[in-house]
Chains A and B, each alone.
Chain A
Amino acid sequence: MNMNKKVSFTALFLIVSLIFTMTSGFVFPVSAQNKQVSLTAIVAEPKERWDLLFNTALQKLKQKHPGLDIKLDYRVLPYDATRTQILTAMAGKTPIDLISADQIWLGEFAQGGFLTDLSDRAKTWGRQSDWYQTNWDGGKYNGKVYGIWAWTDIRSMWYWKDLLNKAGVNPESLQTWDGYLAGSKALSNALKAQGIQPMHLVGASHSPDMWYPYLWMLGGEILKQKSGHPTKGTYWYPSFNSTQGVKALGFLKQQVDAGIKPQVNHFWGQEFADRKFAVMLEGSWLLGTFPRDQWPTINHKVGMLPVFPVPNKNTKSTTMMGGWILSIPQTSQNKDLAWELLTTMVDPSVLTPMLQKEGYLPTQKPIGEGPYAVKLNATIPYYKEMISMIPTAHSRPNIPEYPQIADSIKQAIDEVYYGMKDPKQALNDAAAKSAKALGW
């Protein structure tokens, strides 16, 4: 009896499967005829921004190509894993159609022959003049276009208004080095009992990023071109150990001497949103740590100064600009379609809603200055102030050796933080290591 039941069930299952297979062909004749194309992408967290961008762009792409059944498989990886995963995938010749690259990775990827030269495509596209020059140049390596800088971010000074009030600190006074240090002392005294620290000082792996603005505002540079390279003729040479660099690092030392503790763990603004710090120099993404429904009134509680503190009022402040570049790997088997997807993603009508939701800054003039800007200005708190920093912002070198150079600078900063070396000695040692990494 049991056996009979099993046989009947199997027979029923087979018949139903057969009918389903046959009818599915008749019900969806169009999709059966369409050529299926699968695009793959590796991008960096957070995921929401990519969900928004890819969904809209894919819909548009499908509308453009009704004869194609386009599928998109995108992997969103943590920041630290993204570079390694992309590199190992490309070195292993895994077909990938689109990647998001941090601006500083571009040189390494391009030099390794991993990226498609997009120069001709970009020329035909004709939208180059829509980009701010710095942002367009950020997608180039050795004169060729290897990526399109999709959006950017800047670092500025954020503070809790009530905490500064309580300590009797005028936010404007924090704009100078002396004022910043004095403010730290006043805040420390007033907030100690509440367990709130006055100022945030980055001690994590990206601490050089928060030191560069001081270097740049003093007229220093990370690297300079120099002739006489053993194999490359004229090539980059470390210049961060200049007098400007020493003075800039000296300000970090002054902060430590004033009792500000370098933070080895970085929570990308969450520590500020949780009121663990009264003042934080942090990227524009900090806004994302506050719920969206608080954005319209956030300026009542949180203040923002579009500056890094300056040594004196005659010095012009500057900041560091980061952001993400979209590129097409050499291993892509659908380069034309990938380019279409990429250009659709950076189309102002597709990109702006994402920027608006996530609080990122545009790299394109039509978004930064046109009618879209009105939209962004109405949604993103302190948008105008953040945009005002872009013209004076700098970006890091995108050469292949940059990760080693940044690591040497990070070591120099740590040595100063922990009182092992003075700024001059620490930077000179880092410069010697960097010069070696650069092949000198």
Chain B
Amino acid sequence: MSNILAKAEPYLFLTPAFAILLIFLIFPLFWNIYISFHDVSFITILKNWEYSGWTNFVDLLNDPNFYTSLRTTVLFVAGSVALQFTIGMLMAVLLSQKVRAAGVLRAIFIIPWTISAVIAAFSFKFIFDYNFGILNYIFQQIGLQPVGWLSDPNIVIWSLVIANVWYGTPFTMLFITAGLLSINPSLYEAAVIDGATKFRSFLGITLPLLKPFIVINLILITMWSVNFFDLQLVMTGGGPLFASTTASLYMYRQAFEFGLLSKGAAAGLILIIINISVAFVYLKLLKR
């Protein structure tokens, strides 16, 4: 009897975590799949939900705006991840050197991450505004023409990337800092004795030992950038001409602006597949 209890003990301890996972992750996921195969909208939500097969997915794949949103997502994610990672890594490495007031600087740099995304979005909306924005004001003061940061379809996505980089970089900085702190300093001392330069130590010691941190960080910031829609919603509403409608915003608008909950759910499923694929690629890279 006690043997059985001993065997069951780990599972009992796992029960609360599994229950939370079931309620908040697995159930909503299956509910989302269920909705995406039915005809559910704001108009029919209190009525019978008719089975609609693949109709919602077909509708989605026939919508040219969905493809535009996928292209926009690729630009937004690639720009955000590349810049967030590079700047965050650079900041973490620099602050890990013997810098005066490194702690204070870290605390200052982390501020954007502590701010609500909506507040950050409102701030950038005003910074980038064509008429009222501080950026165009500076441009005009130095004799440059004002730029349509949020009104030019070719520029708007990069304005969003800038806002997302400002908002998300501190996370990478913190995460990589944690990784750097986990490296045994004696390795660097040994490298110095062996005559390695700082750059050589970085390539030979820091980067390989940071690899798990880098991959996990890349997975997280990629997923967050794919799913992020607060900035786009507040700063541009997805316009002009869908140039800033990422797939997550497309999903939100279908579900909550147009009330097409099933179509939104179908878009959500495609987003999940994108996220899983990205994580899979990164994890494959980690195992190399």
Chain A residues at the B interface, C-beta cutoff of 8 Å: 84, 87-88, 91, 108, 111-114, 195, 197, 203-205, 261-265, 267, 271, 274, 276, 400, 403-404, 407, 410-411, 414-415, 417-418, 420
Cβ of B140 and Cβ of A112 under 8 Å apart?
no
Q: Given A91-B45, A263-B131, A265-B150, is A403 in contact with B258 using a C-beta cutoff of 8 Å?
A: yes
Give the 7 A-B CB pairs with smallest separation, nearest first: A264-B151, A414-B241, A91-B45, A112-B43, A84-B256, A111-B43, A113-B46
Contacts of A113 in B (CB 8 A): 46-47
CA distance A204 to B257 in the complex (A): 15
Q: Given A113-B47, A261-B130, A263-B131, is A205 in contact with B240 using a C-beta cutoff of 8 Å?
A: no
| Other 6 A-B pairs with CB < 8 A, given A195-B140, A264-B150 | A87-B259, A263-B151, A264-B236, A265-B150, A276-B132, A414-B241
What are 7 A-B contacts defined by CB distance under 8 Å?
A84-B256, A91-B42, A108-B259, A271-B132, A404-B258, A407-B258, A418-B240
Cβ of A400 and Cβ of B42 under 8 Å apart?
yes
Contacts of A265 in B (CB 8 A): 125, 129-130, 132, 150
Closest A residue to B255 by beta carbon equals A84
Cβ of A203 and Cβ of B240 under 8 Å apart?
yes
Cβ of A420 and Cβ of B239 under 8 Å apart?
no
CA distance A67 to B131 in the complex (A): 57
Contacts of A417 in B (CB 8 A): 240
Residue in B130, B241, B253 whose beta carbon sits within 8 Å of that of A420 in the complex:
B241
Contacts of A114 in B (CB 8 A): 46
Q: Given A271-B132, A414-B239, is A261 in contact with B43 using a C-beta cutoff of 8 Å?
A: no
Closest beta carbon of chain B to A151's beta carbon, Å? 25
Closest beta carbon of chain A to B247's beta carbon, Å? 17
Closest beta carbon of chain A to B257's beta carbon, Å? 6
Cβ of B131 and Cβ of A112 under 8 Å apart?
no
Say yes or no for B237: interface residue by CB 8 A criterion.
yes
Closest beta carbon of chain B to A96's beta carbon, Å? 15
Closest beta carbon of chain A to B135's beta carbon, Å? 13
CA distance A26 to B244 in the complex (A): 63
Contacts of B259 in A (CB 8 A): 87, 108, 400, 403
Closest B residue to A429 by beta carbon equals B64
Cβ of B153 and Cβ of A418 under 8 Å apart?
yes
Interface residue range, chain B: 20 to 34
CA distance A205 to B237 in the complex (A): 7
CA distance A88 to B252 in the complex (A): 13
Chain B residues at the A interface, C-beta cutoff of 8 Å: 42-47, 65, 125, 129-132, 140, 148, 150-151, 153, 236-237, 239-242, 253, 256-260
Contacts of A203 in B (CB 8 A): 151, 239-240
Residue in A91, A264, A276 whose beta carbon sits within 8 Å of that of B239 in the complex:
A264
Most central of B46, B256, B258 by chain A CB within 10 Å: B258
Residue in B151, B153, B237 whose beta carbon sits within 8 Å of that of A261 in the complex:
B151
CA distance A276 to B257 in the complex (A): 31
Contacts of B151 in A (CB 8 A): 203, 261-264
Contacts of B240 in A (CB 8 A): 203, 262, 264, 414, 417-418
Residue in B43, B129, B153, B236 whose beta carbon sits within 8 Å of that of A400 in the complex:
B43
CA distance A397 to B130 in the complex (A): 32
Closest A residue to B59 by beta carbon equals A436
Closest A residue to B150 by beta carbon equals A264
Contacts of B242 in A (CB 8 A): 411
Contacts of B150 in A (CB 8 A): 264-265
CA distance A410 to B237 in the complex (A): 12
Contacts of A87 in B (CB 8 A): 42, 256, 259
Contacts of A111 in B (CB 8 A): 43
CA distance A111 to B41 in the complex (A): 11
CA distance A180 to B256 in the complex (A): 38
Contacts of A415 in B (CB 8 A): 241
Contacts of B236 in A (CB 8 A): 264
Closest beta carbon of chain A to B152's beta carbon, Å? 9
CA distance A274 to B125 in the complex (A): 18
Contacts of B42 in A (CB 8 A): 87, 91, 108, 112, 400
CA distance A400 to B151 in the complex (A): 29
Closest beta carbon of chain B to A317's beta carbon, Å? 27
CA distance A167 to B131 in the complex (A): 21
Q: Given A195-B140, A265-B125, A276-B131, is A112 in contact with B46 using a C-beta cutoff of 8 Å?
A: yes
Contacts of A112 in B (CB 8 A): 42-46
Closest B residue to A410 by beta carbon equals B239
Contacts of A420 in B (CB 8 A): 241
Closest B residue to A113 by beta carbon equals B46
Closest A residue to B140 by beta carbon equals A195
Most central of B148, B153, B241, B260 by chain A CB within 10 Å: B241
CA distance A112 to B45 in the complex (A): 7
Contacts of B253 in A (CB 8 A): 407
Contacts of B47 in A (CB 8 A): 113
Closest beta carbon of chain A to B145's beta carbon, Å? 12
CA distance A420 to B150 in the complex (A): 18
Closest B residue to A107 by beta carbon equals B43
Cβ of B43 and Cβ of A411 under 8 Å apart?
no
CA distance A410 to B153 in the complex (A): 15
Closest beta carbon of chain A to B36's beta carbon, Å? 17
Contacts of A264 in B (CB 8 A): 130, 150-151, 236, 239-240
Contacts of B256 in A (CB 8 A): 84, 87-88
Closest beta carbon of chain B to A128's beta carbon, Å? 27
Closest B residue to A196 by beta carbon equals B131
Contacts of B153 in A (CB 8 A): 418
Closest A residue to B156 by beta carbon equals A264
Contacts of B65 in A (CB 8 A): 411
Closest A residue to B152 by beta carbon equals A418
CA distance A108 to B260 in the complex (A): 12
Cβ of A271 and Cβ of B257 under 8 Å apart?
no
Q: Given A113-B46, A414-B239, is A263 in contact with B130 using a C-beta cutoff of 8 Å?
A: yes
Closest A residue to B260 by beta carbon equals A404
Cβ of B140 and Cβ of A418 under 8 Å apart?
no
Closest beta carbon of chain B to A428's beta carbon, Å? 15
Closest B residue to A271 by beta carbon equals B131
